[in-house]
Each structure stands twice: as structure tokens, then as C-alpha cells.
Structure 1
Amino acid sequence: MRKFDEKKLATLSTAGELLDAKYGKAGTESRDAFHEKSIVWYYGEILRDRRKALKLTQQQVAEKVGTARSYIARIERGETDIQMSSFFRIARALGIEFTPTFI
């Protein structure tokens, strides 16, 4: 088993520390803005990965949903905030189903 250098480990930053340094502490306006952008990007990744797995083009998805290809492209790149209704329409076109749960 490989041994870790404790001195090197002590100098490493946590992910939280890196985010704090770059975007501000949790709860600040800049950190909240980063968090919102990261969620938009994440959902775009999910949709893009599924589209590619189905071997569909952005144009084909856009036609199924009734929107422009450029809109699908912006969503996949995380460049536009997507409404829930649009997200569900695109997800449904890609065969992704969601079951809402309330706790």
C-alpha cells in the first residue's frame, strides 16, 4: 500500500476552500450566482449526454420539442437558464422520465 506524504496533504486545499477563494463564501451573492450557473451547466450536460447516447442531433431534438437548434445548443453549453417546462419537454423527447417526490 502506498503511503501518503502527510506534509503535502496538509498543504492541500479542500474543494470548499477553493470555491470560497474564487467565488466567495457560501451565502454571498457571488457564490450564489456561481451555484446557479453550475446547476444550469449540470442539467445541460445531462441532456447532452443523453442526446448523444441516443445518437440524435441537436436539430432532431429541437424538432421533437418544437424549438430552435440554437436553443438546444445554448442549454447544452449551460449558457441559458432553462425553464422547468422546457427541461421536462426536452427530457421527455430524450426518453427521460421524472417522478416528483415531496418529502
Structure 2
Amino acid sequence: MKTKNRMTLDDFKDKHYGEKGTSKRDELEEGYENFKLGTLIHEARLEKGMTQAELAEKVGTTKSYISKIENNVKEVRLSTLQKIVQLGLGGHLDLSIRL
């Protein structure tokens, strides 16, 4: 019985978007990070049992802006992200840099 060759996610990205360091691949990776950030905010908000409007009020912004961040329509500034996490969600933001 033959086994099918399986492609890893990195293999797929290499094939369809180029290797790391190419503009098309970098664009993909950046888009994923923004998507991931919006998803993390969305999940944390739901875990706290808050609506977008409630989170927006605590942060001093609009429901529309929170929605755009969560749905990867708008990029969030670091200062705003800190407000969302600390003031809105009562959490702590940890950042790291990997080289």
C-alpha cells in the first residue's frame, strides 16, 4: 500500500508564496500575525463575557474599531493594544522578539 506524501505548512508556503525573506512570503506572514492578534483579542473578550461595545467603552474607542481589529480589517497600534489588554480586559501584555 502506498503512503501519500504529506506537505508541511512551511513546504506549502514555500511553494505558493516563496521562501522566507521574499516580499510575497513576508506579506503573508505579516497578515497572519495581524489575524492572530485579532483572534486573540476576540477570544479574550469572549472569555471575559464582554461585548465589543463594552470593551470599546472601557478602552475609550468605538465598537466599530474593536470589530475591525478582531476581523483583521484594521491594524492596531501598540499603545491601543496595551489599552485593550490592560484597561479593557484587565490583563497584561507580554511581547517578545525572536531573532
- Do the structures match in fold with TM over 0.5? yes
Q: Which of the numbers 65, 70, 87 marks the counterpart of 1:71?
A: 65
Q: Distance in 1 between matches of 2:39 and 2:28?
A: 16
Q: Please say if 1:94 is aligned against 2:94.
A: no
Q: Distance in 2 between matches of 1:100 and 1:81?
A: 17
The Cα of 1:8 is off from its aligned counterpart by 1.9
Rg larger in 1 or in 2?
1
Task: With the length of structure 1 as denominator, give the TM-score of the two structures.
Answer: 0.83
What percent of counterpart residues are identical? 30
Q: Which runs of 5+ in 1 are unaligned?
A: none
Q: Which has the higher contact order (CA 8 A, sep 6+)?
A: 1
The Cα of 1:101 is off from its aligned counterpart by 6.9
- SS in structure 2 opposite 1:49? helix
Count of residues in correspondence between the two structures: 97
Q: Which runs of 5+ in 2 are unaligned?
A: none
- After the TM superposition, which segments of 4 or more aligned residues of structure 1 sit over 6 Å from their partners? none
